Amino acid sequence: MQSISRRTILAGMAALPVLAADEKIPAPKQKVAIFSKHLSFVKGDALAQAAADCGFDCVDLTVRKGGHVEPERVRQDLPPLAATIKRHGLDVPMITTDISDDATPYAEDILKTMAELGIRRYRWNGFKYENGRPFAAQLDALKPRVAKLAALNARYQATAMYHTHSGAGLVGAPIWDLYILLQDFDPNQVAVNYDVAHAAIEGGLGGWIDSFNITVPHLRGIAVKDFVWAKDAKGEWKTQWKPIGEGMVRFPQFFKMVSDAHFDGPLQIHFEYPLATPEEHYAAMKRDLRQLRAYMAQAGL
């Protein structure tokens, strides 16, 4: 009875679905991808095996400098790696790239290879504001670059998803600026990869709710992780990454909104908090994935 009472209190405080060790979670309707950056210490078949063993449904592959596939070798290396992942029963619904616009080196090679493999979505590299220039004018100046990228994506039936980060001087951190930047473009060509933790950092009380709602028409991807605000050794407030459910992101509320938006993926999970060994990585991935699926099941996802 003590255990039940404690669970009830914790659930009431944090709306956190507490799981018994042997409790089974319904199979999710929405597939979950592991961002392959967090498995950078394994390659090829070992990458696919690790993702499958941890219980993921798919992989968001890094196709960028220092990633699992180097951009200049995308034609040679992405097809066999994607095939290896699929042999392990996993999908590759998206890739993460360094593409900023149509002039990015190897951009067309990447999109052509994606098209041949049936991969339709990729994470689009971000922009930064320049100090001393009006932000509105800078957004207007970016629109021709976005238009050219949208045209290239249309040619290969690909969708570029702009990942939202937090921090000063980053286009997309407020998220409302992405609405201004993208509102006149086809969301099947240029869209948003909404990172709920970064959105909560930027707008913890209600800003993340409003930014999600205005993003919905261009929402094509979601990234999840968790965080808290804490003081560092100098007494300054900083964000600290935490396991899913141990931070400030309101996952039950968020996934209800995701369900209401009829989101259909891809959904990626990130692991930014400190982990020292591969064994710690695997344990954290299984734990966070299990907790994430509990939240998703609550929302009917």
Give the amino acid at 215. T
> Which of 9-18, 101-110, 209-218 has the weakest average pLDDT?
9-18
Q: What does the mean pLDDT of the chain come to? A: 92
Least confident of 22-26, 41-45, 137-141: 22-26
Paired with 162 in beta bridges are 124, 192
* Residue 59 reports pLDDT greater than 60: yes
Model confidence at 16, pLDDT cuts 50, 70, 90, reads: very low
Residue 9 buriedness (CB in 10 A; 0-12 / 13-18 / 19+) = exposed
For tokens 């509990």, what's the residue?
Answer: 294
Segment 214-226 shows an average pLDDT of 97
Average pLDDT over residues 51-55: 96
Contact 227, 247 (CB under 8 A): yes
